[in-house]
């Protein structure tokens, strides 16, 4: 009986089950969906670890990481934008405490209603739309409809990046229609003939039309306090093997 117990324990140790751990992750929907949820089942079966996911925003994830509530903050925007977003929430984070590991790539797109005939928008046109200086689609070769900008309150990392890159730091117009997240943007634009919004390319669908805009890309990051722990490094290596992105 004693030998059988020793054999079982040894087997568990060799199989890695005895070292199974929880990896706590919080962040934006783009990275959570594209990276963690995409491989969660396979990773958990192969390693014995579990992934505990909170989908909120990249800024909220960074704040949770700084407070020690999670192991990883997941974001699809430059770290300086996330730090700026946290500062706006009243949380100043020392960037020297953070290590950002790129894990995938994200691209932002503009979406409009499927009936909108506008095929492309320049940076100047985007800036005019979102700051409220261009108010009707006929100014851009579209129909005579007053533009309705859909802007999410919970996509803070995206908002900071888009404002910095495309609006040159100018604020969006106070007349925008506020929603919560990426999916809400897509759902509302799909039923607004005059609507426009910004979402990650991975959330695009046939329900809307994506006119050509200047390229806006950034890596998706796994952010840790200090170097990644062994369990986080195991996930990074696993994802690299499965996706090939980091090779």
pLDDT reported for residue 18:
46
pLDDT reported for residue 203:
87
Compute the mean pLDDT over every residue in the chain, rounded to the nearest whole number.
90
Q: Are 2-106+219-243 and 107-218 equal in CATH topology? A: yes
Query: What's the CATH fold of domain 2-106+219-243?
Result: D-Maltodextrin-Binding Protein; domain 2 (3.40.190)
pLDDT tens per residue, range 9-60: 444 444 444 478 999 999 988 899 889 999 999 999 999 999 999 999 999 9
**CATH node for 107-218:** 3.40.190.10
C-alpha dihedral sign at 124, 127, 129, 132: negative
Q: Where are the domains of the chain?
A: 2-106+219-243, 107-218
Average pLDDT in the 87-101 region? Answer: 96
In angstroms, what CA-CA distances link 212 with 117, 206, 218, 226? Answer: 12, 15, 18, 39
pLDDT reported for residue 244:
60
Tell me which residue has tokens 């994200």: 106
Average pLDDT in the 167-187 region? Answer: 94
Query: CA-CA distance, 14 to 82, in Å (whole number)?
Result: 40
Band of residue 246 on the pLDDT scale cut at 50, 70, 90: very low
pLDDT reported for residue 213:
97
Q: Are 113 and 193 in contact (CB under 8 A)?
A: yes
Average pLDDT in the 157-181 region? Answer: 93
Q: For the range 7-15, what are the long-range contacts, defined as Cβ-Cβ under 8 Å and sequence gap of 24 or more?
A: 15/48
Q: Which of 77-81, 171-175, 229-233 comes out lowest in average pLDDT?
A: 77-81
Query: CA-CA distance, 46 to 217, in Å (whole number)?
Result: 32
pLDDT tens per residue, range 111-165: 999 999 999 999 999 999 999 999 999 999 999 999 999 999 888 888 989 999 9
């Amino acid at each position: 009986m004693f030998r059988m117990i020793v054999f079982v324990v040894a087997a568990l140790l060799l199989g890695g089950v005895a070292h199974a751990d929880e990896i706590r992750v919080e962040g934006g929907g783009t990275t959570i969906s594209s990276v963690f949820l995409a491989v969660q089942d396979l990773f958990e079966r192969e390693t014995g670890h579990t992934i505990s996911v909170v989908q909120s925003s990249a800024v909220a994830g960074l704040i949770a990481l700084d407070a020690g509530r999670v192991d990883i903050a997941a974001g699809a925007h430059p770290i300086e934008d996330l730090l700026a977003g946290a500062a706006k929430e009243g949380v100043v984070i020392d960037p020297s405490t953070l290590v950002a590991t790129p894990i995938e790539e994200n691209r932002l797109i503009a979406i409009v209603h499927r009936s909108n005939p506008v095929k492309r928008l320049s940076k100047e046109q985007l800036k005019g739309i979102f700051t409220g200086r261009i108010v009707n689609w006929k100014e851009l070769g579209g129909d005579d409809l007053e533009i309705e900008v859909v802007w999410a309150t919970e996509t803070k990392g995206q908002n900071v990046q888009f404002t910095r890159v495309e609006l040159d730091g100018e604020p969006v117009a106070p007349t925008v229609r506020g929603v919560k997240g990426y999916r809400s943007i897509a759902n509302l634009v799909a039923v607004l003939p005059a609507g426009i919004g910004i979402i990650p390319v991975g959330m695009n669908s046939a329900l809307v039309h994506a006119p050509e805009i200047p390229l806006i890309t950034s890596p998706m990051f796994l952010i840790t306090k200090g170097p990644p722990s062994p369990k986080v490094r195991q996930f990074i290596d696993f994802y690299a093997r499965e996706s090939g992105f980091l090779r």
